[in-house]
Amino acid sequence: MPSSLEKAESCVFWRQAEDALKRCITLEEIDAWFENVCVLDYREELIILGVPSGYRREYVEKNYRGLLANIFSSLLNRQIDVEIRLTSPMNEKADFEEISVITNPGKKPIMQLFEPLQYEPLNESYTFDNFVIGGCNKMAHAAAEAVAKAPAQSYNPLFIYGGVGLGKTHLLQAIGNAIKTSIHSNKQVAYLSAEQFVNIFIDAIKRNERLSFQAAFRNVDVLLIDDIQFLAGKESTQEEFFHTFNALHNKQKQIVISSDRPPKDIPTIEDRLRSRFEWGLIVDIVPPDFELRMAILRQKCEHVDPPIPDNVLEFIASKIRSSIRELEGALAKITAHAQFTNEDLDLEIAGKVLGEIYDRGGKEISIEKIQRKVAEHFNIKPADIIGKNRSRSIARPRQIAMYLSRKLTRHSFPEIGTFFGNKDHTTVLFACNKIEKEMEGDSKLRSIVQDLSDSFSM
């Protein structure tokens, strides 16, 4: 292969890679970080990309190099490494000057563009009054109420962790709603997910308004951040959030954070940020016991017509053990069926309505089990699946295991990545998209994946 590309050929090659990128990351990310990126050179096992500014070069290197290597390896059907270079050293200064601009002529000031509450307003239905308390969440509820009554005086930060659908978001928004209707109603409350924080940060960089982004988030009185584990692996955003955290804490502003795991277990997050999370109070929420699940169901169906029999509620509570969100979803499904069909609900009808989703009786599929099953099918070791070997005989089973982990479990892309040797979430997303697309035209692959998937329901 020639050591350098003609300009037209390099443009076509990059467009192919960009099309693959669009299936793995958001258009906002592509606009922010890959504008004016080009292929400078490519060799037998190396692609050299040119990035027009120093800050973007550093960010792409840290956050997307692995994904780009996967994409180019797939396009060329062999192992490819990627090197990120600055197109022109002169752009270093220009990039720094652009990032330092607070507002651009003719544009709305960043303080208005990135007002946090415009992005995710508080849901007024989330209050402390309708939060059902039990042994699994009593401590978290008490701590949240204390914070709402005296922001920045009780526990700062307050870190709440627990599995999906257990009430973390309810408590965070209940804190915000309680503050806005109390003697502290003049305080500025900002609630948003960590994913939104990342996206807004990227947008600020795209608009060259990073300093104004900082001013917007470092001047709130109460910052409520949901699903902080989404920051795992995003080094530049972690850096930004670290300084935001320090600025707010130093001014005695309240910070409340939720996660699906305790700080010590969040992968690929900076130690200094982890230590900040551990400064205050850390409380957990565990899956509800049978009595609490029944209490939640009874509260939710107090005003349901026709009423749901107790034995049906007990059936739901016995089948769904790990998620309050699923519990409420099952009740909604049963209620809708009763209202639309006018049938008298009994256990037989309830079983048919809920269907095979709950037939496993609460049995959950673990990612470790998926890895073992896939490794066994392809006659390789489970350690190979989570290792770094990128040969096709290992990479294909690994991608299938990632796809099945996304399909058969409730884990997010970043969470799945941690089970595969701390792979970045973009690598998992790429694998899932690749397997899904290839199954459309490859009946053998489709059969393998379907057989593996079916084996978990036996």
- Per residue in 303-325, pLDDT (tens digit) is 777 788 888 888 888 877 777 87
Per-residue pLDDT, 360: 45
Q: Who wins on pLDDT, 115 or 417?
A: 417
3-state DSSP helix/strand/coil % of the chain, to nearest 5: 55, 10, 35
Residue 44 confidence class, pLDDT cut points 50, 70, 90: confident
H/E element, 12: helix 7-22
Confidence band, pLDDT 50/70/90 cuts, at residue 115? very low
pLDDT on residue 6? 55
C-alpha span between 175 and 274 (Å, rounded): 23
Neighbour tally for 200: CB within 10 Å: 19
Which distant-in-sequence residues (6+ apart) come within 8 Å of 338 by Cβ?
Answer: 306, 308, 345
| Confidence band, pLDDT 50/70/90 cuts, at residue 8 | low
Domain 367-455 has CATH 2.60.40.740: no
Spatial distance between the Cα atoms of 214 and 329, rounded to a whole number of angstroms: 39
Q: Which of 174, 166, 169 is nearest to 293 (CA)?
A: 166
Separation between Cα atoms, residue 355 and residue 389, nearest integer Å: 41
Is the pLDDT reported for residue 109 higher than 80? no
User: What are the tens digits of pLDDT across the range 164-223?
Assistant: 778 899 999 999 999 988 888 888 899 998 988 988 888 888 777 777 788 788 888 999
**Mean pLDDT in the chain?**
81
Residue 364, pLDDT score: 60
Q: What is the pLDDT of residues 360-371, one digit of tens each?
A: 444 567 888 899
Answer CATH for 290-359 from 3.30.70.260, 1.10.10.10, 3.40.50.300, 1.10.8.60? 1.10.8.60
* Position 41 confidence tier, pLDDT thresholds 50, 70, 90: confident
Strands (DSSP E) contained in 62-135 are: 81-86
The pLDDT of residue 441 is above 50: yes
- Structure confidence at residue 362 (pLDDT): 47
- Kind of pairing, strands 38-42 and 46-51? antiparallel
At residue 409 the predicted structure's pLDDT band, cuts being 50, 70 and 90, is confident
Q: Using pLDDT thresholds of 50, 70 and 90, give the confidence band for residue 355.
A: low
Say yes or no to pLDDT of 344 above 50. Answer: yes
* Domain spans of the chain, in order of start: 4-86, 128-285, 290-359, 367-455
Percent of the chain with pLDDT over 70: 88
327-344 mean pLDDT: 79
**Whether residue 337 has pLDDT greater than 50:** yes
More confident residue, 107 or 131: 131
CATH topology of domain 4-86: GMP Synthetase; Chain A, domain 3 (3.30.300)
| Contact in structure between 426 and 68 (CB atoms under 8 Å) | no
**pLDDT value for 7:** 56
CATH code for the domain defined by 128-285? 3.40.50.300
Residue 149 confidence class, pLDDT cut points 50, 70, 90: very high
Question: Predicted confidence band at 356 (pLDDT cuts at 50, 70, 90)?
Answer: very low
Cα–Cα distance, 334 to 317 (Å, whole number): 13
Q: Scanning the structure block, which residue is given the tokens 């692609």? A: 47
Unique residue bearing structure tokens 């999370």: 277
- Higher pLDDT: 422 or 10? It is 422
- Confidence category of residue 112, pLDDT binned at 50, 70, 90: very low
Is pLDDT above 80 for 404?
Answer: yes
Residue 332 has pLDDT above 60, yes or no: yes
Phi, psi of 125 (to 5 degrees): -75, -15
* Residue 15, both tokens: 């467009």
pLDDT at site 255: 96
Sorting pLDDT into bands at 50, 70 and 90, what band is 98? very low
pLDDT tens column, 258-274? 998 899 888 778 889 99
